[in-house]
Amino acid sequence: MKLIGILIIVIGFILKLDTIAVVVFAGIITGLVSGMSFNEIMTTLGKAFVTNRYMSIFIISLPVIGLLERYGLRERAAYLIGKIKSATVGRLTSLYLIIRTLAAMFGLRIGGHVQFIRPLILPMAQGAADNRYKDMDERDRQRIKGLEGAVENYGNFFGQNFFVASGGVLLIVGVMKEQGYVVEAVDIAKASLPIALIIMVIGTLQFLYYDKKFDKKYNTIKAQSSLNKKA
């Protein structure tokens, strides 16, 4: 009976009822069945809301990003980066990797796949590729998407544990102490610093490798095309 809340949510979603009302009602019923008083249920729901309130900021940002894209943010970013002749996919992505990792190391939230990569960094990388190689095939365009998704993961995942107040560091400290190890957040941060530096080097080498790979492929195609025209 304590799992009745799940059934209520499933039925509510099937009937397309108000989502918030269904979830709150399911929580209240679950609490009552579990023997909690009404005040205890309201306190629990309130604490859960406060704990997860930052999720609402992410949800609010979605329509803002949608409006920016609707009115040409992606196109403008690609156009501007295309004007920089020296810009390449590898150089641009490597620069973002360094910025993203350093930001994560100091607890600055400047990135995100939805908020930053899709509307800004990816169009800039695609603009640099179009300016340098003109007509890229679809397979390589998908590779660029993968690289831009990877750079956000690299910078965020390997940089954030240098920040002593990050959730990952606190989780590691808690688990280690439960296992009987004497460790502090500063110790985790110190151990994470070499990893953050290494990922900046390895990631940069990976992205610049793709520059070389794209240059070799499309320069060869260009040379063959020129020979065919002369023939």
Choose the most confident range, by mean pLDDT, from 76-85, 180-189, 197-206.
197-206
pLDDT at res. 57: 58
| Distance in angstroms (rounded) separating the CA atoms of residues 81 and 88 | 9
**If you average pLDDT over every residue of the chain, what do you get?**
85
158-180: pLDDT as tens digits: 999 998 888 788 888 888 888 89
Predicted local confidence at residue 213, as pLDDT: 94
pLDDT at 50 over 70: no
Report the largest interatomic distance among the alpha carbons of the chain, rounded to a whole angstrom: 88
The DSSP element (H or E) to which 61 belongs, if any, is helix 54-70
Q: What distance in Å separates the CA atoms of residue 117 and residue 97, rounded to the nearest whole number?
A: 11
Residue with tokens 């023997």: 35
